[in-house]
Structure 1
């Protein structure tokens, strides 16, 4: 029995998750495995009603599962960045999910705008950073002058940046990336 935590999330996330569960259960019937699903109420609706994003208790409960089936995060009722940082990035950092793996394969019968390409021509994997570089989430926007310290603490490092930024521009934005050998 495979025990899987489920976070439907927001928007069409829960609907997609439900359809995916049907497919996975059909695969289980065909290949002889069972899945026990446990749902977690994590997303915009909970945030808007309780103010909670992802709690320590949520993380401890999710830690009991080998897999988390995750829908989508994002809702027009919540300012951009709040759900993404408070839920998605928090999960990535907590579980140290340093690889964002994106397999790409063209399926037979699907048209592509790429000239003369067939399924055997398009089959590759994109490996992206998931917890370091700009995902550490340290940056800001400002007008005028700003002096501050930015910090990132992880199990494998602790780093502080002392900034003294001054601009005559209407607005200046900056983002600092951090990359370790292990993360890269």
Structure 2
């Protein structure tokens, strides 16, 4: 039995999570696995009521679970720096979720805006606990003509090396032959130069093909020839931007799952859709639940059930190919609940 902490969060997170829980309940009924889950109402509503995003012992509570299934965070009534730095970042950093995994796969039934005939199927790995998203810096002389801001990027040998080693093992295990390193060491000479140095030390004696591409050119290549990529690794900021661009070429954020992974399983890993709380459509019942459902598949893979991961992704593809029950973001007019119910029928047809 696996214990799951479920945090629907804000906005459409609550809506798409309802459909993901349907999937979990059906899997519990049909498969030789038990996913016992508990729902926590933490997030912006909790903050407005109690002045904090989660209880003081929230992380201690979460640590007792095997995995976290998360919806979305963000509310116009709560500053972004609160929702990010008092919720998402502490979980990622304190639970050593140093790998952010985002598949970029054009499923059958989805037409890319790039109108390419080639297959798009690669994985982006983002360093998830340091780099550009380090809360180190500050302001001086506020309100004065001398006012200035400093934000420091922190790169450590351990942080770079542990991501690189994970990427290398993943590539071999999944029969990939090439890894692309996203960098900008020609201009950001110190931290990105150090990033390249550590990455290349680890790949020096590897049979995997390795290439280094500057981030500006890499963004262009994602649009011009995305079929050339297999595994892409990047720093926290670069990986964040590239993975959103990647999702845009394979159906949009509603088709973009992710995993925040602690490979050693010393702490629970967290799985979530990339799309965020989407306040512009929250409450309308039209959010695409497939990214949240695909995140369930990533969680199942992490828990050792790749067979169930593949089964869920296959069912998503069958739903898309049928082209009858889709949300507006991918060309349909169905509701979130309609898509969730139709998916269940495809999962165990």
> What TM-score range do you get, normalising by the shorter chain?
0.7 to 0.9
Deviation at 1:132, TM superposition (A): 0.4
Segments of structure 2 that go 5 or more residues without pairing to the other structure are 161-349
Number of aligned positions between the proteins: 160
Structure 2 equivalent of residue 84 of structure 1: 84
Point out the more displaced range, 42-51 or 21-30. 21-30
Structure 1 equivalent of residue 124 of structure 2: 126
Partner of residue 181 from structure 1, selected from 157, 164, 171 = 157
Deviation at 1:31, TM superposition (A): 3.1
Structure-1 separation of matches of 2:109 and 2:140: 50
Q: Are 1:117 and 2:93 matched, yes or no?
A: no
Deviations 1:15-43 (A, max 9, x none): 11111111233334343222111112210
- Check 1:53–1:116 CA distance in 2 against 1; reply closer, same or farther (3 A cut): closer
Structure-2 separation of matches of 1:94 and 1:87: 11
* Residues 46, 54 of structure 2: 8 Å contact kept: no
Structure 1 equivalent of residue 40 of structure 2: 40
SS at match of 1:124: strand
The equivalences for 1:4-23 within 5 A come to 4-23=4-23
SS at match of 1:68: strand
Question: More helix per residue: 1 or 2?
Answer: 2
SS at match of 2:93: helix
Structure-2 separation of matches of 1:28 and 1:125: 28
Structure-2 separation of matches of 1:105 and 1:142: 45
TM-score in terms of structure 2 length: 0.43
Deviation at 1:56, TM superposition (A): 4.0
* Residues 98, 130 of structure 1: 8 Å contact kept: yes
Segments of structure 1 that go 5 or more residues without pairing to the other structure are 147-166
Bigger relative contact order (CA 8 A; separation at least 6): 2
Q: CA RMSD in A?
A: 2.2
* Residues 139, 175 of structure 1: 8 Å contact kept: yes
SS at match of 1:183: helix
Structure-1 separation of matches of 2:21 and 2:34: 11
